[in-house]
Amino acid sequence: MSDLKLSGKRVIVTGAAGGLGRAFCEDLAAAGAHVIAADIDESGAAQTAKFISAADGKCISGKLDVTKAESCQMLVAQAINEFGGLDVLVNNAALYGTLNRAPFEQLEEDEWDRVLTVNVKGIWQMTRAASEALKASGSGSVINIASATVYSGSPEWMHYVASKGAVIAMTRVMAKELGSANVRANVIAPGITLTEASMTLMEDAKNYGADRAALKRNGGVDDISGGVLYLASDLSKYTSGQTLVIDGGKQFI
C-alpha cells in the first residue's frame, strides 16, 4: 500500500486567511505540497504564506474572489506559472462566521443570496476554472468543504445548511463528469470545529453538543486536516463522489 505522498503536489486552498483554510495550508505544506493560500482577504492570505514559508514550507499567497470568474481564472494561471500545473483544489472559502441566525421566515433575502453566491456559486466557479489544469495533471483531486449540519438540519441556519447541502450534491456531479480524466471529487463535512468563527458564533463552543459525539468532544482544526491530507494523496486514488463526515461520531449513530 502506498504511503501518504504529497511531496511536490501542487495545491490551491481557498479561504486560507484563517481557520480551517490556514490549517489545511500548513499541514499540506508540512507534508511536502506546494501550496497557494488564496483568500479575498489578501493580507490574511499573505500572513498564512509568510508563516508557512518561515517554517520552510512551500507556500505563496493569492487574492481570490470566488464569485468572479476572472479572479478564479487568474488564480489558476498563478498556480500554473509558479508551480507548472495544479494537482489538488481545496474549495474551503465560504461565508460562516459573519452570518445571522434566525428562523427561515425571518432571514433577509440579501443575506440568503450572498450565502448561496459565495458558498455554492463560488465552488462551481473555482472548480470550473481549475478543471482543465486538474485534468492535465493526470490524477487531480477536488476537495469540497461542506458541513455535518446538512445531516442535523441545525435550526435558524437554513441558508448555511442549504448551501452546504448543495456542495454535497454538486460534488457528486463533479465526480461523474471529471472521472473519465482521472480527476476525483469528494467532500469533507466537519462537525463543530473550534475555529475563531465558531467561537464567535456560539457560547461555550468547546462543549456545545459534545455530549452527543461518540468521542465526547468537539474537533480542532487538526482533526479535520487529516481528511484533507488523505483526499489530496494517492491513498484516495479510488475514492470519488464521497462525503467524509468528521464530527467525532455525532451523526449516524
Please report, for the chain, the start and end positions of each structural domain, with discontinuous segments joined by +: 10-246
- The catalytic residues are 160
- Report yes or no: 197 and 96 within 8 Å, Cβ to Cβ: yes
Distance in angstroms (rounded) separating the CA atoms of residues 116 and 202: 22
pLDDT (tens digit, 9 = 90+) per residue, 165-187? 999 999 999 999 999 999 999 99
10-246: which CATH architecture? Answer: 3-Layer(aba) Sandwich (3.40)
Q: Is the pLDDT of residue 198 over 60?
A: no
pLDDT at 219 over 70: no
Predicted confidence band at 131 (pLDDT cuts at 50, 70, 90)? very high
pLDDT band at 1 (very low <50, low <70, confident <90, very high): very low
